[in-house]
Structures are given as structure tokens and as C-alpha cells.
Amino acid sequence: MRILVISDLHANLTALEAVLADAGTVDATWCLGDVIGYGPDPNDVVERVRAIPNLTCVLGNHDVAVLGQMDDAVFNTEARRSLLWQKKALSDGNKGYLESLPQETLVIDQVTMAHGSPRDPVWEYVLNTLVARLNFESFETDYCFVGHSHIQCLFQLDLKKDRVSLEVPHVGQVLRLTPRAILNPGSVGQPRDRDPRAAYAIFDPDAQTWEPRRITYDIPAVQKRIRAAGLPEKHAARLVEGW
């Protein structure tokens, strides 16, 4: 069984199309939120996501903000400018679709899904072993899949030594999973781990494997649309840097 795990699409249709094509045939797709925010294609990306068969999706902080369920002031100036633009651009139908998605964690078999962290699903970043350690107490399944940091990585809890380690797996490496772990597939639409390629992962619950993957996409085409929409230059420039 192949499950495509994606997160932080951020209204980047070109990156999303590249990921869906590269992933090939999958049995299900799990999306960890931030479908919109930053990028130039909010409607196209929501519509493409809606068309994915066997999709399970939770909301991220940008999605919640665009729905007007969060004070925009919590975002920095550039992110806020982009959010206001997306609020106007997003159709009522696509807003309604996002409104139908959960803001809480979801559990499917041995996996808990959250945008940020199991302890604070919308906002908390799991960026270091201390935060990861505290979060292992907030979910009961073998694994927790999170997004939000835009960094492809995993936090492994060694049950014998009672220690948490941070691992950055090599792309293309198929990892054999051992309970318990917090795993991040990276960001489709705005990677921030110095690798500009779109990031995602393939989870196989039968084989108990996790395969972090990257795929190149046409970044200049996306930058052109960001600039044409009058969105902040920073959001165009950072795509090339992968930061």
C-alpha cells in the first residue's frame, strides 16, 4: 500500500502537479495542511486537492486565517499581505470546502496527523528534539505526521534509552520505521531546508516504510505569477533558495 503524504502546498500549483506526477499511483493521499497562503494559485490548488481521490486533509494556520477564523495580526507583514490577497481571490465554493476540513488532529490506524504538532495542531512548530520530546506525550499512536516547519525530517524516540533524536534522511532512502516517531514530509510549495525541490513522502503501512522524496519543478513560472499578482517579492525569491 502506498500513501502519499503532502504538506504546506501554499497555493503553488506547479509544485503540486510535479509532486502528484512524480508520486505515481497511490492508494490514498494524506495532506497535513496549509493548502493556501504565500503562493499565486489558491483556487487552482484547492480545486486540484479536492479532485484527489481518497484524500484526508487537515487545516493549517494559513488555511484557518484565510477562513477568517484567526486574527491576521499574528502573521508577519508579508504573510499578512499575501493572506489578504488570498482571502479576496478564493471563491466561496473553495472557502466552503476548506471550512469542511478539521483543525484538530486526525487518527488513522497507527498514525496521528497534525499540521503543527499533536499538542497544538495549528500553531506549534516541531523544530528540535525538546519540542518533539514534549509532543510524544500528546499522541498515542506509533507515528505522528506533521508539517508546518517546511523541513523534511524525522524525530525518533528510542524507547529503551528514552531519548529523542533528529534525523534528516537522504532523499530516495527508504526508511524502515520503528515506533515511535514524528515524521515531516517537508513542504510541497515552499521548502525551507535549503533544497528548493518540492518535498513529499510515501508511507507504506504494510511494509512500515517511509520514503522522503524531492522533485524539481518550474520555479520561474511560479515566481512570474507571484510577481504578476503583486504578492511580496520575498515569497518569489525564497523559492529558488529553498528557504
The residues binding Zn ion (CB under 5 A) are: 8, 34
Residue nearest to Zn ion (CB): 34
> Closest approach of Cβ 9 to Zn ion, in Å?
9
Residue 189 CA: distances (Å) to CA of 30, 67, 101, 151, 163: 16, 20, 20, 12, 32
> Closest approach of Cβ 152 to Zn ion, in Å?
13
- Pick the closer one to Zn ion by CB: 8 or 44: 8
204 sits in which H/E element: strand 198-204
- Pick the closer one to Zn ion by CB: 63 or 211: 63
> Closest approach of Cβ 179 to Zn ion, in Å?
27
* Exposure of 107 in the CB half-sphere (CA atoms within 13 A): 9
> Closest approach of Cβ 34 to Zn ion, in Å?
4
- Pick the closer one to Zn ion by CB: 8 or 41: 8
Residue 111 CA: distances (Å) to CA of 33, 57, 145, 220: 16, 13, 7, 36
> Closest approach of Cβ 86 to Zn ion, in Å?
13
* Exposure of 27 in the CB half-sphere (CA atoms within 13 A): 8
> Closest approach of Cβ 64 to Zn ion, in Å?
11
- Pick the closer one to Zn ion by CB: 84 or 209: 84
CA distance 110 to 107: 7
Phi, psi of 221 (to 5 degrees): -65, -40
Q: Which residues of 214-240 are buried (b: 16+ CB within 10 A; e: fewer)?
A: bbebebeebbebbeebebbeebbebbe
- Pick the closer one to Zn ion by CB: 4 or 11: 11
- Pick the closer one to Zn ion by CB: 61 or 94: 61
